[in-house]
Amino acid sequence: MPMRKQLWTISGIAVELDRDRRTIADALSHVSADGEKAGRSAWFMTSAIRALSSASDGDGLLDPAQERARKDRALAVATELKNDLAIGKVVLIDVAMAAVTVQHRKLRNKLLSLPIRIASRVPEQVRAQVFDLAETEVLAAMAALTTGGEGNFTLAEVEVERSLAAPDEEPAHV
């Protein structure tokens, strides 16, 4: 007995191709039916597959040439990024954040030590005043640079850390 083309309903095509009925219906919505089966529109399997492969919504079959081009582009971008990383054109965000954090801490520590270093170089009579003035200016400058977010310090946090870090370094106030 020879094989003959068979008409399929949307549900039958969905079952045979293991696809969602809505996907099949969307793809066939622009294709006229090849006939009727049990009072419903029906299509030959070849018509359904052709409609799925040309469907613009991406739910149909994949175009091998397009997929190969997409893969080649992704590989080219990955290779370019790897090369840029190797020559130092780009850096990993974790590495950059670690470097910035280290430099931020060093700068913060240097700024916090300024009032003590300045006050130790002036005569004893004005040492307390110079220390207070320098400390006020340093803390104000640090407060202006901070946003209060993670990794940044508020004025209160700077004062607490300064007092905890080096309580014996402050000159005696008269």
Strand ranges across the sheet with 7-8: 7-8, 40-44, 35-37
pLDDT for res 149: 46
pLDDT for res 171: 43
Give the long-range contacts of residues 48-56, CB within 8 A, separation 24 or more.
48/8, 48/13, 48/17, 48/24, 49/17, 51/27, 52/17, 52/19, 52/23, 52/24, 52/27, 55/26, 55/27
> What's the predicted TM-score (pTM) here?
0.40
pLDDT for res 53: 81
pLDDT for res 141: 83
Instruction: Give the whole-angstrom CA distance, residue 158 versus residue 174.
Output: 24
pLDDT for res 88: 87
pLDDT for res 156: 60
- Per-domain boundaries in the chain: 7-53, 62-90, 93-165
pLDDT beneath 70, residues of the chain: 1, 55-62, 147-174
pLDDT for res 160: 60
- Could you give phi then psi for residue 55, rounded to 5 degrees? -65, 135
pLDDT for res 3: 78
